[in-house]
Structure 1
Amino acid sequence: MIGGCASGLNLPSWDVQFPDARLEQASATEVASWRSHTNAAALGLLKEPGPKQTAIVAAGYDLVGARRLKIEGRVYPLDCSGTILAVYHHAGMDLQSAFAQYSGNGVSRLYRMAADKGLLASTGEQPGRYPAPGDIIFWDNTYDRSRSGRWDDPLTHAAIVLEVYENGAIEYLHYHYTRGIVIEHMNLLEPEVHTTSTAAGTVVVNSPMRMRRDRYIQPESWLASHLYRDAGALYRGDW
């Protein structure tokens, strides 16, 4: 992690609903059936990124480890939404004016910007599409923001997709509250896997996302894949 700052995979032709990669929302039989009928190509994971997406990815790599976010004279807050705004600005897309028209925390503002333009992965031109490079990823319940002791905290963290691989692996850039701006991992096709062993050693499949102090509330839901809500292609908007 971590986020302190899905309606995702809907394949109706195969009679399987896998809304946001949470196993508790589909039986093991349904998940096995879904996996047996689909693959990365069918999900469109390997579509060639457009120029704006490529620019966002390059800008994201430029800002890994940055301790101050100053783009063309404007300083952005060192948090998850500030990092996203800075990356987009560095890529030539200034979201600040539109962002300022919304109220609430930074994550909810970005989410509503995407929703109002029809740019969410769950409900856009290709409903249920997989996240793509340049997308903003949104998560719920990454920490107990309300301090209520309940699972009731929507839109608590966000990141930018840098890479998507054929096996569904996603690399995303985000602001980690102890490590700063880093790259971490998520795979919505393997939502229950934290790490796996390979010939090269242990590989992270899904990074921890729920703040450790708050995992007592719903302890089985703590990985990036568990808390994923949606993704938004703000690079497609006219800002």
Structure 2
Amino acid sequence: MPGFSHSLCTLLVGAALSACAAPASQGLRQAVTPISDCCRTTQPDSRKQAIVQTAVNLVGARTIESQGRRISYDCAGVTRAIYLAHGIDLFEGGSGDGMANGVGLIYNHLRKHGQLHRGPVVQAGDLVFFDNTWDYNGDGLVNDPLTHVGIVERVESNGTIVFISRVAGAIERYRMNVAYPHIHRTADGRLLNDYMRRKHWRDGEQTPYLTGELFAAFGTRVVESASSPDRR
């Protein structure tokens, strides 16, 4: 989408944005263990490729402008905005009770309009969800589900996922390898998992910090071909 790198179309000016966290009431899900056969990929269709290109164009942006108005986005807002530019609202139908926001809305949307999975096949344009990236409920425990989301850009030959998201004030690329979730770098210097959770003096010895340790699920949104109406 030409000209999108640091600006949004008029459609997004009034979009409501939510923090990169879901309500604590959503509860805990199963802890991550190594997924030895993940990940591999297949060729995405043209619409998924276009979604990825929109995300790539935003890498490095710290703010996004629309008609001269600067709009700061969190991880859920950035992800929503990228898909909105292609006619898909990831917040639509995400909450029946009005409680969920941000990452939780997107996760629930994927339940209805796509597939939530843990690989082993992951496509560019898929979403990747994380738990416990920060202490959302402030209780000092690692019990905060669905606190971050990003968009998969590509899968490297060793199974490492490269995804795009806003983490620390800017939209950047990050890496995750769920086959080796506890390894930051290999002995030869290859980056497998970025640090995503900040260390805190209250953290216990088993607190997870790496992307592979914090991984929750992948999400594949059903995207109709350009010749078919998008069933949102």
Task: Pick the aligned partner of 1:212 from 199, 203, 228.
Answer: 199
Question: Alpha carbon RMSD of aligned pairs, Å?
Answer: 2.9
1:169-218 C-alpha deviation (Å, 9 max, x unpaired): 1111111134x1110100112212101243xxx33210012222277145
> Of 146, 166, 171, which aligns to 2:157?
166
Candidates 59, 67, 76, aligned match of 2:54:
59
User: Is 2:105 the counterpart of 1:94?
Assistant: no
Say yes or no: does 1:185 pair with 2:172.
Answer: no
1:219 is displaced (CA, Å) by: 3.4
Contact 1:70-1:86 at 8 Å conserved across structures: no
Find the partner of 2:186 among 190, 196, 200.
Answer: 196
2:186 aligned counterpart, secondary structure: strand
Asked whether the 8 Å contact 1:76–1:86 carries over to 2, the reply is: no
What percentage of residue pairs aligned between the two structures are identical? Answer: 28
Say if 2:209 is the partner of 1:222.
Answer: yes
Match of 1:238 in 2: 231
Contact 2:130–2:149 (8 Å) recurs in 1: yes
Question: Which segment drifts farther, 97-106 or 47-56?
Answer: 97-106
| Contiguous gaps of at least 5 residues in structure 1 | 6-18, 24-30, 123-127
Q: If the length of structure 2 is used for normalisation, what is the TM-score? A: 0.73
In the alignment, is the contact (CA less than 8 A) between 1:163 and 1:170 conserved in 2? Answer: yes
Number of aligned residue pairs: give it. 197
Counterpart of 1:223 in structure 2: which amino acid? L
Task: Tell me the amino acid that sits aligned with residue 79 of structure 1.
Answer: D
2:33 to 12, 22, 25: 22
The aligned runs of 1:43-192 (5 Å cut-off) are: 45-70=40-65, 77-90=72-85, 92-95=86-89, 98=92, 103=98, 104-122=100-118, 128-178=119-169, 180-192=170-182
> Which structure shows the bigger proportion of residues in strand conformation?
1
CA distance in 2, matches of 1:112, 1:120: 10
Verify the 8 A CA contact 1:145 1:156 in the aligned structure 2. Answer: yes
For 2:171 and 2:231, the matched residues in 1 are separated by 27
Contact preservation (8 Å) 1:76, 1:85: no
Please report the TM-score for the alignment, with normalisation by the length of structure 1: 0.71
Give the helix-richer structure, 1 or 2.
1
Letter in 2 for 1:93: G
Q: Does the Cα contact within 8 Å between 1:69 and 1:86 map onto a contact in 2?
A: no
Q: Find the counterpart in structure 2 of residue 28 from structure 1.
A: none
For 1:139 and 1:60, locate their aligned partners in 2 and report how far apart those are by CA, in whole Å.
Answer: 18
CA distance in 2, matches of 1:131, 1:218: 32
Quick one: distance in 1 between partners of 2:52 and 2:145?
A: 26
Is the partner of 2:55 in helix, strand or coil?
helix
**Deviation of 1:228 (Å):** 0.6
Instruction: Indicate if the aligned counterparts of 2:126 and 2:152 stay in contact, CA closer than 8 A.
Output: yes
Q: Residues 206 and 165 from structure 1, CA distance in 2 versus in 1: closer, same or farther, beyond 3 angstroms?
A: same
Work out the CA distance in 2 between the residues paired with 1:97 and 1:147: 25
